[in-house]
Homo-oligomer: A and B are copies of this chain.
Amino acid sequence: MQDESYKKSKAEMLPDPVVCTVDVVLLTLREGSFCYALVPREQEPFQGVAALPGGFVHPAEDKDLRASAERVLRDKAGIQGVYLEQLAVFSGVARDPRGWSISVAWYTLVPLEALQAALATGVILREVADLGGLPFDHAEIVRVALERVRSKSTYSSLPVHLCPATFTLPQLQAVYETLLGEPINKVSFRRKMEELAFVEPIKGEFDSSGAHRPAQLYRLKAKYRSRLSLTDRGMNSGG
């Protein structure tokens, strides 16, 4: 498909260059609070200001934009192999002082355990209610990410990515309740989990830390590590 004639005439054919970046909204739970990650910016503009982990697209290095986002997560937060989904594109003449720009925004949900190294090397967590002081249009990007994640949490397995490798059903329910911002009836939650069928019990493993009898430990099924289990009926719609 490569043709030298396109390459030669590229300079004439293409309009002014566009600044192409990726930004990642990294979400986690810290002591029951829903948080997003920030990293102090190393360069101007906004040098030193806490911003979403992001960076330029590197055409020579990245296969595609997912690879760009994975590289940013690896370089700036030291994590890889996590659930990562495209959010939306933010664009225009006004959002970046360097010029007309495109930021392709991604979001990822990560258990706090996976962030220990990142937190030790400068990554900051902030509660989602606080969007003050963010550079560029990062507050808007976080807002759109929260809306998407909350919406998807009503009908999918998405919140499980905030859980550690093993968890009990009450722990999973608490994660859903934090994201949805309201209590869920235990019986309908169990029914919904059976329908979505993305977790499996770990034979013979129980959590004995609670005050009640030991609770069965579960894990995410391997096939749902990189894609969601979906239902067409919401969590709180009587299903």
Contacts and interface: CB of A to CB of B under 8 A. Distances in A.
Interface centre among A3, A17, A91 (most CB of B within 10 A): A91
A79 interface: no
A119 interface: no
B15 A18 contact: no
B232 A98 contact: no
A16 interface: yes
Interface residues of A, number: 46
A32 to B, nearest CB: 25
Contacts of A92: 63-65
B2 A97 contact: yes
Contacts of A44: 5-6
A89 interface: yes
Contacts of A15: 56-60
A226 interface: no
Contacts of A239: 237
Contact of A102 (B20, B94, B97, B232): B20
A211 interface: no
Contact of A10 (B66, B99, B104): B99
Given A6-B98, A154-B232, 13 more contacts: A1-B45, A2-B97, A6-B44, A6-B99, A7-B99, A15-B60, A17-B18, A20-B102, A57-B100, A59-B93, A63-B92, A65-B102, A102-B102
